[in-house]
Chain A
Amino acid sequence: MIKLSGLRLAFDSGFSLDVDSLKIRAGEVFAIIGPNGAGKTTLLNSMAMLNRPAAGTLEIMGKDALASANKLPLRRAMSAVFSQPYLLNDTVFNNVALPLRLRGLRDSAAVNAALELFRIAHLKDRNGRTLSQGESHRAALARAFVTKPKLLLLDEPFAALDERVKESITRDLRRVIKTSGAAAVLVTQDQAGALTLADTLAVLVNGRILQQGEPQEIFSRPVSKEVADFVGVETILPGKVASNRDNLCAVEAGGHTLMAVSECRAGDDVFFCLRPEDVSISLSADAGGRRNNFKARVAAVAPWGLEYKVELDCGFTAQAAVTKQLVDGLGLKPGAQVYASFKAVAAHLIKRAI
């Protein structure tokens, strides 16, 4: 659906976007995540043909998207939703009908169907400017789908919404995308949302794509410290692989020997990475089969959404994510003596340059 290579955009501020290669397949939901200022919007705008790259090629649906003759026909096969709904000062019906009108079409059935998809049919005669946040975002989505596009571009479409609304709309969007079979490119800061919607994930930092692949892959096995940092791997320890037996590595890190399943070889300098969700805390030394088990002292307990982050001092610092029940049940408080354990297979090693 989209093939991008050697794309480069440079800005006066000194920032530049450099993407070597990107491929998005038909029907695929492709999410691009990255910190603020990474260039995500610029990249999406390039795919929407809203800016002019200094170098590179961009092919959309088999056509050269950089040729001005192709721009309008390609635009008419795509659709986009941005972080603000940008509705017109007109009825919701007319707002959703806009893409059809731009193509010289009149199709009330399609408009009504789009309104139904996002469950706002009851709002069709209201003025777009009077809707609530959630309602106007739904209207923007309905508007994007009314032409049954084969490719949908979304730039942080839910950034401004509160949790519940976000959840509800995300669910509806997922359903609609999957049913329509359209390809979607989603730029977002919301990692949870990306995980829910995406088939493929790309991490964009400072204008460059650091890793592309399946979301779970990236979250559990980031290829660099940068990516690891960004996707929430909170325990990252520099160390060295002492030995590798059948891909079970013993790593000297943090003053201990930690076990990880990895193809790294003895002698490699690595970062030992561990997601907080993979660290278990218990009061007994029984590791329950986990190869890594350490005595630890609770250094801090902080709320984290509906759960808690517990900072553990095992000789090295580890972050664990646990439920409130566990905190209460084990009486976790700073200073408490506990045991932290994690599976070797949950740990991940990243080769480190010295």
Chain B
Amino acid sequence: MEFILEGFRKALQLIFSGNPEIFAIARLSLTVSLLATAFAVLAGVPLGSWIAVKKFPLKKLLIALVNTGMGLPPVVAGLVVMLFLARSGPLGFLNWLYTPKGMIIAQFIIALPIITALSVSAMQNVDPKFYNQILALGASDRQAIWVCLKEIRLTIVAAVIAGFGRLVAEVGAVMIVGGNIRHQTRMLTTATVMETQMGNFDMAIAIGLVLLALGFVVNLALTIIQQNKVLTR
């Protein structure tokens, strides 16, 4: 018990002394996961809405696949991305392995099915008669989807929160694709693992606390945005 409290105390010291390395790592984690989430939203929300609204053969199969993708283990995503980005792999010429760009791609692949599946579900909850009404007022399919999205933005923001939460917490993909290289691809999660293994518990706890705080702050911001849209009148 002693050493836990000791570790905790030292951790707080590290944080409040403004240890630059910890904050550099935090900045990278934030950038990588936020960007990956943003790209996943830009791709996944329209994709999910389209799937929900359009009729086409094998629609149920596609939705099942997307739902399964929500449970994609991050390490598997990392492995696949690594194989593609390796020098001997098909995309090796990009030189994106062991760089933040590679990590963003891996995290994008993890977040995409989550955002897409939740968008499908949110869109399917829109009354089809409402959708028809918007069409009948002179909207194209794309316009009608956009109007419906604005009506279900609460759920969409919830999907963004879910996606970001998943990304900032995962360690497998960023470890494999990033390599935990100091000053370059070290993320909060991979640094925690490394410091724990090296027995530097105070550092590990410090990084863990920053990770928790980061997750909380971003989710707080998103929740405020979401709740502001709730009709109070």
Contact = CB atoms under 8 A, between A and B. Distances in A.
A, B from the same assembly: yes
Interface of A: 45, 48, 50, 72, 75-76, 78-80, 82, 84, 86, 88-89, 98-99, 102-103, 127, 129-130, 143-144, 147, 153
Contact of A79 (B127, B138, B143, B233): B138
A127 B233 contact: yes
B137 A79 contact: yes
B151 A50 contact: no
A76 B140 CA distance: 9
B137 A143 contact: yes
B231 A80 contact: no
A89 B148 CA distance: 10
Contact of A78 (B129, B136, B151): B136
Interface string B33-60: 0000000000000000000000000000
B147 interface: yes
A224 to B, nearest CB: 32
A50 B137 contact: no
A153 B133 CA distance: 11
15 contacts: A45-B132, A48-B132, A48-B135, A48-B136, A50-B132, A72-B138, A75-B135, A75-B136, A78-B136, A82-B136, A86-B127, A86-B134, A89-B150, A99-B138, A147-B138
B135 A50 contact: yes
A332 to B, nearest CB: 46
Contact of A102 (B129, B130, B143, B233): B143
Given A86-B130, A102-B143, A129 B137 contact: no
A177 to B, nearest CB: 17
Nearest to A47: B136
Nearest to A44: B136
A59 to B, nearest CB: 18
B86 interface: no
A64 B143 CA distance: 23
B139 interface: yes
Given A45-B132, A88-B151, A103 B231 contact: no
B147 to A, nearest CB: 7
B132 to A, nearest CB: 5
Interface residues of B, number: 18
Contacts of A102: 137-139, 143
A144 B137 contact: yes
Contacts of B133: 80, 82, 86
A245 to B, nearest CB: 55
Interface in B98-140: 127, 129-130, 132-140
A144 B150 CA distance: 20
Contacts of A76: 138
A95 B104 CA distance: 40
A50 B137 CA distance: 12
Given A86-B133, A86-B134, A127-B233, 4 more contacts: A48-B132, A99-B137, A99-B138, A103-B138
A78 B138 CA distance: 7
B137 A98 contact: yes
Nearest to A88: B151
A95 to B, nearest CB: 10
Contacts of B231: 89, 127, 129
A328 B135 CA distance: 54
A89 B133 CA distance: 15
Nearest to B140: A72
A84 B132 CA distance: 12
Question: Which of B134, B136, B140, B231 has the most C-beta atoms of chain A within 10 angstroms of its own C-beta?
Answer: B136
Interface in B207-233: 231, 233
Contacts of B139: 75, 102
Contacts of A99: 137-138
A125 to B, nearest CB: 12
A50 B138 CA distance: 12
Contacts of A103: 138
A333 to B, nearest CB: 49
A130 B233 contact: yes
Contacts of A127: 231, 233
B140 A50 contact: no
Nearest to A147: B138
Contacts of A84: 129
A45 B132 CA distance: 9
Contacts of B130: 86
Contact of B129 (A75, A82, A88, A147): A82
A80 B140 contact: no
A75 B132 CA distance: 11
Nearest to B137: A99
